[in-house]
Amino acid sequence: MKHLDEIINQAEQKSENNDWYEFNLIINEELTKFFCFDFINFKTCVIEVSSIIHSVRRHGNTEKEIINKQIAINFDDINLIPDIVNYFDSIKLGGISEQTKLQTIKFMKKINDIYYFCICEIRTGRKKLGFKTLYKKPG
């Protein structure tokens, strides 16, 4: 398995190789109750190179993010994803992904007066979460 830094580096180089990094989920009772399905069998979350590229392309432009009252993300922010997902401050169901038609979850965590929002797909067939995108707002 690749290390997260390797995956981020591939994304920075805009690699067409869609490698991934997988990290263990810390499943607590709140998650299981919240989703009303057997979330306890979900053991990992996957971060793919293509999702990192999408996130930085979509939410990394300072001028565009200011218009949306958001802060542009950068590749360093990707390193925070495991902590945002495992140690979230709040969580809620997101929408249905237009691309994959999968239900999403929105994790929020405040770090150094910045709110980070991490969207993950619920991949029930594989029993994994899949990182979709990341954005941040001032606290």
Q: What does the block give as tokens for 37?
A: 């399905």
pLDDT, position 33: 65
pLDDT, position 62: 96
- Averaged pLDDT score across all residues of the chain: 90
Alpha carbon distances (Å) from 139 to 107, 108, 134: 15, 12, 16
* pLDDT exceeds 60 at position 104: yes
* pLDDT exceeds 80 at position 127: yes
pLDDT, position 32: 67
Helix H or strand E encompassing 104: strand 103-111
Rg (CA), the chain: 14
Least confident piece of the model among 17-21, 40-44, 111-115: 40-44
Alpha carbon distances (Å) from 137 to 66, 93, 119, 134: 9, 19, 14, 11
Q: What is the mean pLDDT of residues 52-63?
A: 96
Separation CA 124–CA 60 (nearest Å): 30
Q: Is the pTM of this model over 0.85?
A: yes
pLDDT, position 124: 82
